[in-house]
Every structure is written in structure tokens, then in C-alpha cells.
Structure 1
Amino acid sequence: MRAQAQPPAVPTTRSVFHLAWPLTLKSIMLHGIVVIDGWLVSSLGEGAVAVLGLSASIAGLLIGLIVAFSNATQIRIAQAFGSGDRAFLKSALLSGLTINLGVVTMGLALLALFAGPLIDGLAHNAEIASGARAYLSIFAVVILSEAVGHCLTGHFNGCGETRLPALSYMMAVPVNIAVSVVLIHGHLGAPDLGVTGAAIGSAIASVIQVGFLAGLLLYRNRTLLRVPGWRNGTYAASLRRHFTFSLPIAATFGSATIAMSVCGLLYARLPVNDFAAMTIIMPWVQVVGTFGMCWAQATGIHIGQMLGRSTAAEVLDRFLLSAWRTSFVASGLVAAIYTGICLASPWIYPELHPDTRATLLSFLPILIFLPFPKGSNAICGNTLRAGGETLYVMHIFVWSQWLFRVPVTAAAVLWLDASVTVVFALVLAEELIKFAPFHLRLRQGHWRSGRMED
């Protein structure tokens, strides 16, 4: 892998696809960990699904922050790769890794202090609380592994090597499934651990995945770590600059993840069957939605590389229009898959209560429309970030979440006793609120002249 190996000046739809499909595969498998665990434990009943939902909401807070800083690292690496500056590339990688490890260390300390009381206050009963505590204690290994793994993934993605992170998940997911099946149900003489077995399967798989990526980096690109010099003169200065650039992006993704987790904790106040339905459908929204999100992410990687090469504004516009048109095709595919999932829910989850399956079917009209504004917003967000407009994107996300979605969800669940379908519809309402400010800002075109150090 060489930073000087430049992609074509004007990426084609094919080149975006070659970046996007491994991103999609990797994201499906990443989000699929929760879907797989949910499917495997669904045979144990709504109580087990509730344990998983409560645990995932809490762990998701920290995983989301790791993903947030890693996305910022990915943008910096894409810019460095486009510029051909290997000192910049080394600085972005090591700064990103340092920040991720610092975030996860502080996050795990906070989980140790506050997760227990939070679980006790939200769980429907003592059995669910005990199961969630056990799941989180083991899932901490996954969180630590993802801190390293997401940074390495951002490095490979930013350099255009998106197939390598996808390959690492292709190795890890079968291990996750096999170990989880054995430990959840006590097959092959193993103990019957229930939901805790799913956490162990995820932990083993994540360690394998990160080990593969780390070995691959050392084997393919070890000379990068010996490149003399730093982007901003010293390691400390480069770290500060990287953190300054990353903070608005991390705040954007972190706000989204925290808002989602807070909403997930609010969903825990719904009746058990309704909460189980939300626990099942939300990971599907993330998994299937990656078709559109990863197309937007691949578009952002190309935009970052093109800006690193100081590509002309008219060339940027031509590329973006082509990528945008294809994103609507991806949104249509996502809507079709959502339809299939809802219609097939009696066969996918035969052990669930009929009321839970009926609730899943009631989500269908929302799911059909959701991918289109969400996909278009994602194209805008990734393009604006690559062009340096990270603060503007942050404000759109933060205010739409904390002035609308979170308080309205709280009101609907805690005071208005709204139906679970209305509560789920707030996911779509948030995307509609973000639509105008995203698209108006993109049309203004300030991102086309954004400098990498702005």
C-alpha cells in the first residue's frame, strides 16, 4: 500500500461501488452482531431479548464514540492519501489510535461506576437486570477490541483498501455465530449460558478480527511507521490537531449514538412485547440501511481524496451528481429488503408472541419511506465533512436529536402513552427535519474550497 498510488482524478460510479460494497459488507456484519444475537436468543423468549436490548443500549454509547472518532480518522487518512504525504498518513493513524484508546479507557471506567445502577433502574425485573450485568461485563472485551479495530479499519478505508476490513469481519462473524450457538444453548457439552453465551461469542470474534487487521497492517505497510517527521512538526502537535479536527465529527456521531441509546433506554419503559419489537427492528434498520449509508461513506472518501488533490469544483460537482443518483437506487433496495423482513417476521421469529410480530408488521409503512431522505442526508453529511464543514454538520445532528427526537420520544413513552408505531415513526420525522438544512448547505458550495487544515 503506497500513499502515492493515486486513484483516477474523476472517480466513476464503478470506483465508488468498489469502495462501497466492502464497506457495506463490513457494516452489515458489524451491526449484524446484534441482529444475530437477537435472533439466537429470541427462542429464549421476550425476557432474553429485553436483556440484550438493555445491554446493547448501554454498550452502544461507548461503541458509538469509538466509531465517531474513527470516522474522523478515516477522513484525515483519505485526505493524507490523496495528498501523497506519508508523514501526514502516519500522523493520522497513530493520532487516531491514541485517541480511541483514551476514549475507551475513560468509557470503561464510567461503565464500571454507573452501568449497574442504570440497569437496576431500567430493567423490568431482577432477572433481566442480572442478565444485562453479566452480558456487559463480557462485552467490555468487544468494546476494547473495537477501539483498535475501528481505527485500523478507518486507515484501510481511507487508503481505498475497503476490502480488507470486510475480509476481517468475514472471518470473525462465523466464529461469533458458532461460539454463540454452542454457549447459548449448551451444545457439545458446553455450559448453558443463555444471553451471556452470546456476549462470549462476540468477544472471541472481535479479538480475532482485530488481530487480523493489526497483522495485516504490519505485514503490508510496516514502513509507514518508520516514516520520519510528523504532520505538524511533533507527535504532540499532530495529536492536538487531529483531536481538534475530530471533535466536531466525534460530537456528531457521538450525539447520534447517545441519542439512539437514550431512546433505546426510553423504549425499555414500553411494555415488554413492544420493547422486544423495537429491540428486534432497530438493528435491522442499522444493518439493512448500510446499503445507502456506505454508498454515502464511499462518496465521502472519494471527495476527501479529491480535495487532497485540489480537484476543480466542476469536477467535484459532476462526480457528486453521479454518486447521488445511484444512492436513490440503493435506497429503493433498502426499502424492498425492509418490506421482506416485515412480511417474513412470522417465519424469522416463530417463537415470539403474536402481538410482537404484529407490531413488527405495523412498522412497514415507515420503513418503506425512511431510506430515501436518510440516504440523501447521508450523501450531504459525508460530502460536507470531507469539505471541512464539520461544525455545521454537527449542529444539524445535535439540534435535531436533542431538541426533537429525544424529548419527543420521552414525552411519547413516559407521558402520552403513545403507540409503539408512533414512537418508531419519530426516526423518520428526524430525517425529514434534517433534510432542508443539509441540502441547502450543500447547494451553497462552500465545501468545495475547504482546506484540509480548516
Structure 2
Amino acid sequence: MAISQTSRAQDIPSVRAIFDLAWPLTLKAIMLHGIVVIDGYLVSSLGESAVAVLGLSASIAGLLLGLIVAFSNATQIRIAQAFGSADAVFLKSALLAGLVINVGVVLIGLALLAFFAGDVIDTLAHDAWIADEARRYLSVFALVVLAESVGHCLTSFFNGCGQTRLPALSYLVAVPVNVVASVVLIHGHFGAPQLGVVGAAWGSVLASVLQVGFLAVVLLWRRRDLLRVAGWRNGSFAASLRRHLVFALPIAATFGSATVALHVCGLIYADLPVNQFAAMTIIMPWVQVAGTFGMSWAQSTGIIVAQLLGRGTSGPDLDRFLAGAWRAAIVAAGVVAAFYAGICLSTPWIYAELHAETQRTLLSFLPILVLLPFPKGSNAICGNTLRAGGETVYVMHIFVWSQWLFRVPATALMVLYLELPVFWVFSLLLAEELVKFPPFHLRLLRGRWKRGGVME
């Protein structure tokens, strides 16, 4: 009996296994944010109007890219379940179903953009030149969106199989190409055409195609056997596609709701006094970038939980794994909190050119930022674990209702009616996590997710 228990304990992944998955996910996320920053920097040399073109185009294309990420996240969980079960039919079905859904969503989205994006651009653009350039940029960037629909699915496959370093490596290859190609095509170096803002779009196209090609070649090299696997998970490809879509839709709705809520709150922030609005504009990207480590840790935990559930791991073993993951997550949250503290305390030097009131406002965010990573990281582990166990609808409800019944109306009340200082508006980030904390943790403790239809 003792030998059997020792054997099972050896089968439970360690905290090091989570770290091995998490750091490439963190690197990839930081590089994704970096691409936006780098493109903005490269285009800024063309003037404020060119930056406006990039910002307008990115806002529109970002909606489609967000949907791709959402559906790919669902595919990643299904792949992890299939990988854990060692079922090649399940693995093939999840990969191809996810690929078809991604491409289908993008094609529908691009068709809608072709019909409606022009009116949106004309409404939001400051002048005719910006509107015309934004149309040109989007017409090229559509190729990036199409390539990313395939690339994110392939990334989900490798992540779900525990090979997170390969997608990170693909970005290490693609990002330098993006930068060099964009510089050459924006300014017309080495005899290339001078395309201006559109040159940045073509640089992104070249990088995306290279990245997708890299992942596709690696997939065919490592898993060519999947091409010879006969049959489908649910009896037919159509049935497998429907099952995958049912699993994915709540996750897509969760991400979509978060994106819309973020943009709505951003519009409300614009009504703040200028110094306070500037402080919010500066701090929010830092919150997103630094928070990627905690989120990557939770995502890696979810991948391993899905693999364990697919393997049929028992409840006590799952509890033991999660206990270790949580202890390490507290450490990760402490690292993120320390980073936030460093940013806040360094604002007089980092943003020396800003008004003193703006600097004081940034410093006032310190107490919230020090506390935020702890409930946020714990909630993220709960959410990813529950999704891995098939409870995607429950997770969707927690996110949607906490956003639309609490954070968005509270933001509007504080800014538009009560006109409270921005400290209290910013504190809603922490308050939202505290609102989500009880329903997430109580549901996890119930343990229903441990038997939640993973093998369907």
C-alpha cells in the first residue's frame, strides 16, 4: 500500500513543472505587449496622425484578435485533457476542431469588418487622411489576423501538451523580423517602397507568417502520427466540432465581456481631471504587463490540472498538487507586488517630465497595487482550474456579473456622479477581485470540477 501511494505521489507534477510551463507563457505575453509598444514607437517618427492611424486600426483589429485568444484558450484546455488521457483520437479532434473554429470566426469577423469598419473609421477618425490610412492598414492587417487564427491554435496545441517553450521560441524568431521589416518598409530603406504606417502592417504580416510556418513545421515534424489516426472523438467530426464549440463559447463570452468592460471603463476614465486620467493611462499598461507572470502561473496550473483530469487522477492527488501551486502563487504574487511598488516609488525618476500632481497620483496607487496580486492570482488559479474541469459556464457568470453588476456601474457612479478622487476609482480593481473571491473559492472547494465531464 505504501508503495502504491509513493508511486502516485511521484506522478503528481511539482511546483517546478508549473514554473517550467509558466515562464515561457510569461515571456510570450510580454513580447505580445512589446510588439504593440514597438510598432507605436516606430510609427511615432511619422507624427501624431500616424500614431492615431495605428491606434484606431489596432482598436478595431484587437476585437478579432481577442476572440481568437478566447477560442484558443478553450482549445488549449481540451488539448491538455486529451494529452493527459493519452487519447490520440481526442488529441486530433481537439486540434482540428479548434483550428476550424478559429478560422471560421476570423472569416466571419473579416466579412463584418468589410461591411461596417468603414463607417466606424469615418466616425472615429480625426480627418480624411487618418481614415484613408486606417482602411489601408486594416486591409493588410487582415492577413495578420488570418495567420494568427492558425498560429494561436498551434500555440494552444503545444501549450496543452506542456511544450510552452516552442511558442515562446516562435516569438523570439518573429519579433526581430517584425521590427526590421517594419523599419525598412515604413521608411523605404534599401530600395524598398516607402509605405509609411502601412509598412508596419506588412512587417507584422511577414512576422506572423514566419511564426505560423515555424509552428506548423515543428508540429508536422513531431506529431506527424496524428495524420494517420482514424476516427473522431464524438463519432464524427461534426459532433466533435459541436462539443468543442459548446465548451468554448462560455470562455469566448468571458473574454469578450472583459474586453468590452475594459473599453467602457476606459471611456469613463476620460471624464476624470486631466492629471488623474493621465495617471490611469500610465499605470494600466504596467498593471497588465507585470500581471502576466501571475496569470501565466494560473494558466500553467490549469493546463496541468486538465492533463491530470484527462489522466483520471484522484481527488486527493489533485488537492495535493493545487496546495503546492497555491503556495508558490503567493510567492509569485509577492514578486508582482514588489515590482508594482518599484514602479510607483520610481515615478519621480521614470516620469520626471510629468506634473507633480500626476506623480503624486501615481504614488497614491501603491497600497492597492501591493494588495492586488494576491486575490487576483488566487482567483485566476480558481478560474483556470474550474475551466479545466469543464465548469466554463460558472466561470463565465462570475466574470460577467462582477464586471457588469459591480465594476462598470461603480466606475460610472464614482467618476460621473460622485466625482471621487481617482484613488477610489482605481481601488475598484481590487474590489472586483474581492467580489469574485467567495464564489470562486467556494465552488472550487465543493470539488464538482474533479468529475466534471472532461472525457465527454
Query: TM-score scaled to structure 2, two decimals?
Result: 0.86
Give the aligned partner of residue 321 of structure 2.
319
2:407 aligns to what? 405
Answer with 1 or 2: which has the greater Rg: 2
SS at match of 1:160: coil
* Partner deviation per Cα, 1:276-296 (whole Å, 9 max, x = no partner): 765554443332211011111
Cα deviation, residue 158, structure 1: 0.8
1:208-265 per-residue CA deviation (whole Å, 9 max, x = no partner) reads 1111111111121112022011101111111111111212222222222333344445
Aligned twin of 1:202: 204
Indicate the residue corresponding to 2:431 in structure 1: 429
Kindly indicate whether the alpha-carbon contact (under 8 Å) linking 1:331 and 1:375 is maintained by their aligned counterparts in 2: yes
User: Bigger CA drift: 401-410 or 339-348?
Assistant: 339-348
Q: Distance in 2 between matches of 1:188 and 1:349?
A: 37
Pick 1 or 2: higher relative contact order, CA cutoff 8 A, min separation 6.
1
Other-structure match for 1:303: 305
1:12-38 Cα offsets, whole Å, 9 max, x none, are 011111111111111221232223334
- The residue that corresponds to 1:3 in the other structure is none
Residue 230 (structure 1) aligned with residue 232 (structure 2): yes
The 5 A counterparts of 1:28-427 are: 28-41=30-43, 51-123=53-125, 132-183=134-185, 195-264=197-266, 281-342=283-344, 363-410=365-412, 423-427=425-429
Letter in 2 for 1:250: A
Return the alpha-carbon distance in structure 2 between the equivalents of residues 279 and 208 of structure 1.
33
Aligned residues: 449
- Which range moves more in the overlay, 43-52 or 377-386? 43-52
TM-superposed deviation, 1:176 = 2.1
CA shift, 1:356, in A, is: 7.1
**Distance in 2 separating the partners of 1:416 and 1:195:** 42
Partner residue, 2:11: 9
CA distance in 2, matches of 1:46, 1:433: 40
SS of 2:223 mapped into structure 1: helix
> C-alpha displacement at 1:187, in angstroms?
5.7
Higher mean alpha-carbon deviation, 71-80 vs 177-186, is at 177-186
Higher mean alpha-carbon deviation, 281-290 vs 180-189, is at: 180-189
Distance 1:132 1:299 in 2: 40
* Aligned-pair Cα RMSD in Å: 3.3
Q: Is the 8 A contact 1:57 1:262 kept in 2?
A: no
Question: Kindly tell me: are residues 357 and 226 of structure 1, through their superposed partners in 2, closer, same or farther at Cα, counting changes over 3 Å?
Answer: farther
Q: Which amino acid aligns with 2:113?
A: L
For 2:377, give the aligned amino acid.
Answer: G
Contact 1:122 1:265 in 2 (8 A): no
Q: Write the distance in 2 (CA, Å) between the matches of 1:448 and 1:159.
A: 20
Indicate how the Cα distance of structure 1 residues 36 and 187 shifts in structure 2: closer, same or farther if over 3 A, else same. same
1:295-322, Cα deviation, whole Å (9 max, x unpaired)? 1111111111111111111111111011
* Counterpart secondary structure, 1:401: helix
1-structure distance, mates of 2:234, 2:326: 35
Partner letter of residue 386 of structure 2?
A: L
Q: Which amino acid is 2:139 matched to? A: S
Question: 1:272/1:35 Cα in 2 relative to 1: closer, same or farther (>3 Å)?
Answer: farther
- Tell me if the contact between 1:50 and 1:279 (Cα under 8 Å) persists in the aligned partners: no
* Inter-CA distance 380–211: structure 2 relative to 1 (3 Å threshold): same
- Relative to structure 1, the CA distance from residue 265 to residue 98 in structure 2 (aligned partners, 3 Å threshold; closer, same or farther) is farther
**What amino acid is aligned across from residue 233 of structure 2 in structure 1?**
R
Q: Which moved more, 1:293-302 or 1:132-141?
A: 132-141
**CA gap 1:117/1:37 in 2 versus in 1, 3 angstroms:** same
Kindly indicate whether the alpha-carbon contact (under 8 Å) linking 2:9 and 2:317 is maintained by their aligned counterparts in 1. Answer: no
Deviation at 1:161, TM superposition (A): 1.0
**SS of aligned partner of 1:228:** coil
Distance in 2, matches of 1:279 and 1:385, equals 32
Counterpart selection for 1:448 from 415, 428, 450: 450
- Taking a change above 3 Å as real, the CA distance of residues 30 and 204 of structure 1, as seen in their structure-2 partners, is same
Q: How far has the Cα of 1:450 moved from its partner?
A: 1.9
Q: Is the 8 A contact 1:28 1:287 kept in 2?
A: yes
AA of the residue aligned to 1:285: V
After superposition, the Cα gap between the structure-2 partners of 1:48 and 1:16, relative to the gap in structure 1 and judged at 3 Å, is: same
Rounded Cα–Cα distance in structure 2 between residues aligned with 1:340 and 1:420: 20
Code of the residue aligned with 1:210 in structure 2: it is: V
